[in-house]
Each structure stands twice: as structure tokens, then as C-alpha cells.
């Protein structure tokens, strides 16, 4: 496969335009396949797209009642109802504002006693469901989900020790409980199995990771670079994130 041959790169004015473009891509996909399986991401990047989706739901333009979702990652030993758990984030930013069914939304349980068993449970479910569209953000160091720079790509879900760069980028959000230093994440292998991948990045801090995604060497030192080997990736950037292309 020629790497990057099918990557579609959209450079847009701002985050809100990206939200509309990505949100409408998801709304169309749901309308085309009402029981679609979506892989979902947290962080600031997908929030405008989630807003577009729940606004479309409010206007009666889409229903999520048959949609199934799998989130990329979750912090370890953070109470599920802490406002910074990814479980809380997704309910606040999307799920609670739509008709999605709780039984159809899936997360890695960061509070599971046996994390290996938990990762296996998640991977088995992922394998059975098959992700139609995976939404991704990207960390400044090129991480996807919580697949941090490493010496190898991980196939399945696993427990990861977060890097200082990731802790620095996210700790500002934590007040009730300190920011966990570990997380459970879907593996790069599972992300790559999605039929389609949509990645959003905005701001200067993401420019290096985006340059590595588009033109860099494919290496686990910059996990996002693996997307060069996927056959259907759409990347939505603002000018700042695209500034090194
Ligand atoms: C966290 C999440 C990632 C996300 C990244 C970037 O590390 N685990 O899934 O892509 O943050 O977040 P933001 O969009 O806020 O820059």
C-alpha cells in the first residue's frame, strides 16, 4: 500500500467550521446506517462536532437510538462520575442530549480490578461490533487515544502510563480529584481496523504532530503516523494545525 495515498486533508477557517463539517459527516452516516458503530474521542477537538450532532437531533434531523459507540480511552482509578472521567465527558457533551441508549454506549472501565481482563472484554466487544467510523483527536506528541510514543504499536487495549506532555496538557481540567497518571486505551491495532477514520486537530500546538502524520516516518515514536497506512482517513485542520504542511 502506498502510504498516505488516500488521506484527505481539509484545511478550514476555524474549529466551528470543522465542527459543522465533521458533525454533518456523522449525521449523514447515521442517517444512512441507523445502527452504525462509532468509535468516539474526548478532548476539546470533537466538542463542536458533538454539538452539531445533538443540534441536528434536537431539530429532528437524526436519531441515535440504534447507534452504538465505543470510546477510545478512560483514566485509571478516576471515579466514573468525576466530571473529568471520559464517561462523564461523553454524557455531558453528547449522549445526554440525544436519544442514544445507555446500553449501546461502551467504555473501558478504568476502575476494573483486573485491567487485563477488562481490556480483553473490550477488545472482544470491539471485534464483534466492528467500528464503521472512528473519530480521533491527536496529542501534541502524536498520541491517539492514549497510545503514547513507544517502541512498538499496541494491537489491543492496554494500560498505559501517561507521559509528562499529556499530563501537562490535561491537568488544567482537574479539580475534584488529581489527574490520574495511568489510563486504559484502545490499541492502535483496533483503531486501524475501523472502516473509516476522521481526525480533528486545531491550533499551533498540534502542527508538529500533523506534519508527522502527513509527511513523517511511520513510527510508534509518533503513533498518529500509523494512519498513513489506513485506506480511508479524513483529516480536518485549522490553518494553525496545518502550518507545517
Ligand atoms: C487526550 C485524549 C485524546 C485526545 C487528546 C487531545 O489525551 N485521550 O483522545 O485526542 O487528549 O485532546 P484535545 O482535543 O483537547 O487537544
Give pTM, 2 decimals: 0.96
pLDDT, tens digit (0-9, with 9 covering 90-100), for 41-52: 999 999 999 999
pLDDT, position 1: 38
Q: Which atom of ligand 1 is nearest to the CA of 42?
A: 9
Q: Is the CB of 46 under 6 A from ligand 1?
A: no
Atom 5 (ligand 1) nearest CA: 139
Q: Is the pLDDT of residue 3 over 60?
A: no
Q: Look at 7-21, 74-88, 171-185, 209-223 and tell me which has the smallest mean pLDDT.
A: 171-185
Q: Using 50, 70 and 90 to split pLDDT, how confident is the model at 2? A: very low
pLDDT, position 222: 97
Q: What is the largest CA-CA distance in the chain?
A: 47
pLDDT, tens digit (0-9, with 9 covering 90-100), for 49-94: 999 999 999 999 999 999 999 999 999 999 999 999 999 999 999 9
Beta sheet of 8-12, edge-to-edge order: 8-12, 233-238, 196-201, 133-136, 37-40, 68-71, 105-106
Indicate which residue of 93, 118, 132, 148 is catalytic. Answer: 148
Indicate which residue of 141, 147, 234, 238 is catalytic. Answer: 141
CATH of domain 2-238: 3.40.50.1360
Domain-wise residue ranges, the chain: 2-238
Respond yes or no: is residue 141 known to be catalytic.
yes
Amino acid at each position: 500500500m502506498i502510504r498516505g495515498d488516500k488521506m484527505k486533508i481539509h484545511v478550514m477557517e476555524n474549529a466551528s467550521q470543522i465542527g459543522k463539517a465533521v458533525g454533518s459527516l456523522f449525521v449523514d452516516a447515521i442517517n444512512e446506517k441507523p445502527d452504525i458503530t462509532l468509535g468516539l474521542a474526548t478532548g476539546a477537538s470533537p466538542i463542536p462536532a458533538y454539538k452539531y450532532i445533538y443540534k441536528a437531533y434536537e431539530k429532528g434531523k437524526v436519531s441515535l437510538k440504534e447507534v452504538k459507540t465505543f470510546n477510545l480511552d478512560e483514566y485509571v482509578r478516576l471515579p466514573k462520575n468525576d466530571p473529568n472521567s471520559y464517561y462523564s465527558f461523553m454524557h455531558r457533551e453528547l449522549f445526554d442530549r440525544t436519544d442514544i441508549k445507555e446500553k449501546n454506549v461502551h467504555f473501558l472501565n478504568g476502575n476494573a480490578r483486573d485491567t487485563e481482563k477488562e481490556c480483553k472484554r473490550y477488545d472482544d466487544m470491539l471485534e464483534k461490533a466492528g467500528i464503521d467510523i472512528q473519530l480521533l483527536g491527536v496529542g501534541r506528541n502524536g498520541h491517539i487515544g492514549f497510545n503514547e510514543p513507544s517502541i512498538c504499536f499496541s494491537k489491543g487495549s492496554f494500560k498505559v502510563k501517561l507521559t509528562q506532555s499529556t499530563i501537562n496538557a490535561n491537568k488544567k481540567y482537574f479539580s475534584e480529584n488529581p489527574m490520574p497518571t495511568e489510563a486504559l486505551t484502545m490499541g492502535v491495532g483496533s483503531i486501524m481496523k475501523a472502516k473509516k477514520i476522521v481526525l480533528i486537530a486545531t491550533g499551533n500546538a498540534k502542527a508538529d504532530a500533523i506534519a508527522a502524520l502527513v509527511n513523517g516516518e511511520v513510527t510508534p515514536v509518533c503513533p498518529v503516523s500509523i494512519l498513513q497506512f489506513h485506506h480511508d482517513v479524513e483529516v480536518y485542520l485549522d490553518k494553525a494545525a496545518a502550518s507545517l504542511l
